[in-house]
């Protein structure tokens, strides 16, 4: 079994990225896992910037990641789905990190799988000039998702080195991620479909047509309502498509570009899949504001092209 640290050495990624992953993010995810397991549920007294009431767990898991990242001194700034504004950390920090600490948190009470999503940007030679605004997802130097389910697993995208799957192994007093698979590729044809926002069928009948077509062609429905496990399913099975279109009540869809769609799109593209907003690659969208939303269609290339062609206005 190759642990995360040994695996990162073998990839020969730069030492700062390796430190960020191995000494900061991985321990934070292990802490988030235990925070979820010991949580008692309930809402906090606060809302996030999208006006959604925050669960105590949203706040607690956000605090874990903020704490680990701030203390690391590696991070220049961070942006979280649970924070209104960008948080400035070390002005000389090498990285800027965007994350959703606990995506799908409302599923926890039903004991369904949930996850963390993160994307890392390099602040380059002039960190003082870095802002998330104006960036594109293609500038990410790393991204990943962590699934807290029956097991804790992590998918990491290393541009140029593909996507790798890790699993958290717990021994009496230790916990470490070990490499289980990779580089992973996503087949061009989807065997599975995860149709988010099915309520869009009411005013976009063409979305229902695509879904019916996939049913008639024998694709298997796999949709949990948690984007992280739904995306992890595509990687573990090696094919699939996840869709979350816009509709009249949500003209830009629901999912956030910076915190959710960019990190996931880097994973998908690094595995040979496609991720688009319906017109262009999600990774080529410019970030105009940190809580910006976008429709997303991602996974196996042929299925993504089919749905984008059908829904294109």
**Structure tokens belonging to residue 13:** 């990624």
Q: How far is the CB of 22 from ligand AHM (least distance, A)?
A: 27
Mark 261-300 with x for binding to ligand AHM (rule: CB under 6 A) and - for no binding. ----------------------------------------
Q: How far is the CB of 31 from Mg ion (least distance, A)?
A: 19
Sequence-distant (6+) residues with CB within 8 A of 113 are: 104, 107, 147, 148, 149, 150, 224, 226, 228, 229
Residue 74 or 201: the one with the smaller Cβ distance to ligand AHM is 201
Residue 154 or 257: the one with the smaller Cβ distance to Mg ion is 257
Between vectors from CA 281 to CA 277 and to CA 286, what angle results, nearest 5°? 85
Q: Which residue is nearest to ligand AHM (CB)?
A: 227
* Total interface residues for ligand AHM by CB under 6 A: 13
Mark 17-36 with x for binding to ligand AHM (rule: CB under 6 A) and - for no binding. --------------------
Q: How far is the CB of 16 from Mg ion (least distance, A)?
A: 27
Residue 144 interacting entry, from Mg ion, ligand AHM, none, C-beta within 5 to 8 Å by type: none
The residue length of the chain stands at 313
Q: How far is the CB of 105 from Mg ion (least distance, A)?
A: 8
Rounded to 10°, the helix 26-37/56-72 angle is: 160
Residue 100 or 230: the one with the smaller Cβ distance to Mg ion is 100
Pairwise CA distance, residues 164 & 182, whole Å: 4
For residue 86, what is the DSSP state? P
- Report the candidate in 109, 135, 129, 12 with the shortest Cα–Cα distance to residue 55: 109
196 binds ligand AHM (CB under 6 A): yes
Q: 148 has which bridge partners?
A: 114, 152
Sequence-distant (6+) residues with CB within 8 A of 63 are: none
149 binds ligand AHM (CB under 6 A): no
254 binds ligand AHM (CB under 6 A): yes
Pairwise CA distance, residues 155 & 181, whole Å: 9
Looking at the chain, list the stretches that DSSP marks H as alpha helix, in order from N- to C-terminal side: 4-11, 15-19, 26-37, 56-72, 205-216, 227-237, 262-270, 301-311
Q: How far is the CB of 100 from ligand AHM (least distance, A)?
A: 6
Instruction: Name the one range near ligand AHM by CB under 6 A: 103-111, 123-131, 173-181, 267-275.
Output: 103-111
Among residues 197, 246, 275, 300, which is the contact residue for ligand AHM, using CB under 6 A?
A: 197
């Amino acid at each position: 079994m190759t642990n995360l640290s040994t695996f990162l050495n073998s990839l020969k990624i730069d030492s700062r990225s390796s430190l960020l992953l191995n000494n900061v993010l991985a321990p934070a995810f292990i802490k988030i896992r235990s925070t979820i397991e010991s949580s008692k549920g309930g809402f906090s007294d606060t809302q996030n910037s999208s006006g959604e009431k925050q669960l105590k767990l949203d706040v607690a898991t956000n605090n874990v990641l903020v704490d680990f990242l701030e203390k690391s001194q590696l991070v220049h700034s961070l942006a979280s789905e649970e924070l209104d504004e960008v948080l400035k950390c070390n002005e000389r920090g090498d990285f800027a990190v965007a994350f959703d600490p606990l995506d799908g948190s409302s599923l926890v009470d039903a004991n369904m799988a949930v996850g963390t999503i993160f994307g890392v940007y390099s602040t380059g030679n002039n960190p003082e000039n870095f802002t998330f605004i104006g960036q594109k997802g293609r500038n990410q130097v790393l991204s990943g998702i962590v699934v807290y389910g029956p097991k804790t697993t992590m998918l990491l995208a290393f541009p140029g080195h593909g996507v790798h799957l890790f699993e958290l192994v717990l021994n009496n007093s230790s916990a470490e991620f070990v490499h289980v698979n990779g580089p992973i590729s996503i087949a061009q044809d989807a065997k599975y479909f995860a149709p988010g926002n099915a309520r869009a069928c009411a005013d976009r009948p063409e979305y229902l047509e695509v879904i019916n077509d996939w049913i008639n062609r024998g694709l298997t429905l796999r949709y949990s309502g948690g984007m992280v496990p739904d995306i992890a399913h595509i990687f573990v099975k090696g094919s699939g498509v996840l869709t979350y279109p816009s509709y009249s009540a949500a003209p830009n869809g629901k999912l956030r570009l910076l915190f959710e769609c960019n990190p996931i799109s880097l994973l998908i593209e690094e595995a040979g899949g496609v991720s688009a907003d319906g017109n262009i690659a999600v990774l080529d969208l410019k970030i105009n504001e940190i809580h910006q939303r976008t429709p997303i269609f991602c996974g196996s290339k042929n299925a993504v092209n089919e749905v984008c062609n059908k829904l294109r206005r």
